[in-house]
Amino acid sequence: MKIAVASGKGGTGKTTLSINLTNYISGMEDFPAAILADLDVEEPNSGLFIDGETIFKEEKYKYIPEWDSEKCTNCGLCDRVCNFNALLKMGKTVMVLPELCHSCYACSELCPAAALPMKPQRMGGLKEIQAPGFRFIESRLDIGQEQAVPLIAQSIEHIEKKYENKELVVIDSPPGTSCPVIEVAKNSDFIILVTEPTPFGLHDLSLAVDTMREINRDFAVVINRWGIGNDEVVKYCDDNNIEIIARLPNMRRIAEIYSEGKLIYPEVPEFKAELYKIAVFLKKKLEGTV
Ligand code: SF4
Ligand code: SF4
C-alpha cells in the first residue's frame, strides 16, 4: 500500500509528518514493514533527518529525441504532434527543447523518416538507505533539470518492482497541485493532505481537494499547527464530507526539535497521540474497514 503525504503548498509540515509517521509505524508490531520514499525530487529533505547506510544507488535517465538532419524529410509532423511545445520546426531545422520534453515518444514513433531517435539524458539519481527500522528511498533531480515527472514515475516503478507491494510505503510528495504531485497521487492508494488552520491553508487545501477529486483519489486531512488561525478548515472539511484524521499541535517545542533535526513524537506526547490516530486509521485502511 502506498500512502502519499501531500499538501497544496510547501511548508505545511508534510516532511515532518512523513518522517515521524514512518518511524512511528515501523515500531508497531501489527504493521507491515515501512518504507519512506522522498519523491519531492526538486528539493528532497527527508534525508536530513535520517541516519543510515546507503545500500543502493542508481543514476536515472530520461529519453529525449535527437534530430537527425540527414534522415529528416521536413514533413513537419513532429511539430504538430508534440503537446508540450518541446519541438520546433523552423524552416528546414527541427529544434528539440529538452527542458520541455516529457519523454512521451510521440514524435519519435510518428516520424515517418525515423529521424527522431530517443537518446538517454541523465536527469538525477535514486538511492536507498537502510535506516533503523525502515528503508529510506530518495530521488533527486540534477540541478538544471526541470521535469520532475519522469523521475517520479521511474522512482515509483522502482519501488513497485523491488518491493512487490508487501510493504507500507509512505511517500513525501512534491507540494502543490501540478503534474509532479498528480504523478505521485495517481500511483498511490491513499492520500493524506496536510494543511494548516489558516485562510492560506484553507485556500491551498481546497485546491488540493479539487485535484484529488478530479483524479478520483481517496484522501483525508491532517491539520498541522492546530491551535493557530481559525476553524474555517474544520468547517470546510465538515461541509465537504472530508475526514480529519489528526490534529498535530502547534507548540514551540516542536519547532525547536525540528530545527535540531530530531524526531518529534518521542519527546512530545501530544504529537505522538495524533500519530497513533493516523496509524489506527491506516491500519483500518489496510484491513479495508474504512
Ligand atoms: S516528423 Fe520526422 S521527418 Fe517530419 S519534420 Fe519531424 S523529424 Fe523531420
Ligand atoms: S518525446 Fe513527446 S514531449 Fe518530447 S519532444 Fe517528442 S512529442 Fe514532445
**pLDDT tens sequence across 244-264:** 999 999 999 999 998 898 999
Indicate which atom in ligand 2 lies nearest the CA of residue 87: 5
- Distance separating alpha carbons of residues 24 and 224, to the nearest angstrom: 17
**Does the pLDDT value for residue 165 go beyond 80?**
no
In this prediction, residue 164 has a pLDDT band, given cuts at 50, 70 and 90, of low
Interval between CA 28 and ligand 1 midpoint (Å): 58
Q: Are residues 153 and 283 in the same domain?
A: yes
Ligand 1 neighbourhood includes 45 CB (under 6 angstroms)? no
Q: Are residues 220 and 155 in the same domain?
A: yes
**Does the pLDDT value for residue 99 go beyond 90?**
no
Q: Are residues 275 and 259 in the same domain?
A: yes
Q: Are residues 132 and 231 in the same domain?
A: yes
Structural domain for 149, as ranges: 2-61+123-287
Q: What residue owns the CA closest to ligand 2's atom 4?
A: 101
Q: Are residues 54 and 72 in the same domain?
A: no
User: How many CB atoms are located within 10 Å of the residue 242 CB?
Assistant: 19
> pLDDT tens digits for 111-129?
999 999 999 999 999 999 9
Residue to substitute in 69, 78, 119 for testing ligand 1 pocket (most ligand atoms within 8 angstroms of CB): 78
Beta strand segments in the chain, E: 2-6, 34-38, 53-65, 87-90, 93-96, 118-131, 134-141, 168-172, 190-195, 219-226, 244-249
Indicate which atom in ligand 2 lies nearest the CA of residue 97: 5
Q: Are 201 and 195 in contact (CB under 8 A)?
A: yes
The grid coordinates listed for 192 are 493524506
Indicate which atom in ligand 2 lies nearest the CA of residue 102: 3
pLDDT of residue 163: 87
Q: Are residues 132 and 104 in the same domain?
A: no
Average pLDDT over residues 177-193: 94
Stated pTM of the model: 0.89
HSE-CB at 111 with a 13 A cutoff on CA atoms is 24
The grid coordinates listed for 263 are 524526531
Interval between CA 197 and ligand 1 midpoint (Å): 53
Indicate which atom in ligand 2 lies nearest the CA of residue 118: 1
Ligand 2 neighbourhood includes 107 CB (under 6 angstroms)? yes
**Does the pLDDT value for residue 146 go beyond 90?**
no
Looking at the DSSP bridge assignments, the partners of residue 59 are: 125
- Residue ranges of the alpha helices (H) in 215-262? 232-239, 252-259
